[in-house]
Amino acid sequence: MTLGEKLKELRTEKNWKQETVAKEVCADARQISLYENDKITPSNETIIKFAQVYNVSIDYLLINDYPRRPLFLKDNSIIEKLQFVELLTEKEKDSIFNIIEGLAFKNKIQSALEVVKQS
């Protein structure tokens, strides 16, 4: 997906008009249209503003097939703790990842059950 396609998708997800985005990144609606249609490339400063406005990493915006991640996290303590994972053996890392995946799956199941109960 191109930068322009990503910018358009992000704007559409927020149900914003190009004018709204233009105000957020200090541009005009015509420029936003040109960016979204890959007619022109935004400056580095503008790309940073897009990342901040949409809360996505700059890597996601600029690198094809790069996973979408938030620029800002609600809980930075998670990042601090994840840095310790690098000190672990591969077996220990696998164990931690299995636990995380299991807990996430459990929460998805619980959420689905709550939706069913409410129906």
Q: pLDDT by residue (tens digit) across 67-81?
A: 998 888 777 777 778
Note the residue count of the chain. Answer: 119
Residue 92: CA count within 13 A, CB half-sphere: 7
Separation in Å, CA 73 to CA 12, 52, 80, 103: 22, 12, 12, 20
- Give residue 51's domain range: 3-62
CA atoms of 38 and 97, how far apart (whole Å): 38
Q: With contact defined as beta carbons under 8 Å apart, do 60 and 9 qualify?
A: no
- Tally the domains of the chain: 2
CA atoms of 114 and 69, how far apart (whole Å): 27
pLDDT value for 103: 95
pLDDT value for 104: 93
Whether residue 88 is contained in a domain is answered as yes
pLDDT value for 95: 95
CA atoms of 36 and 99, how far apart (whole Å): 40
Q: pLDDT by residue (tens digit) across 43-72?
A: 999 999 999 999 999 999 999 989 998 888
Whether residue 67 is contained in a domain is answered as no
Whether residue 57 is contained in a domain is answered as yes
Q: pLDDT by residue (tens digit) across 15-51?
A: 999 999 999 999 999 999 999 999 999 999 999 999 9
User: Which whole number is the average pLDDT over 89-115?
Assistant: 93
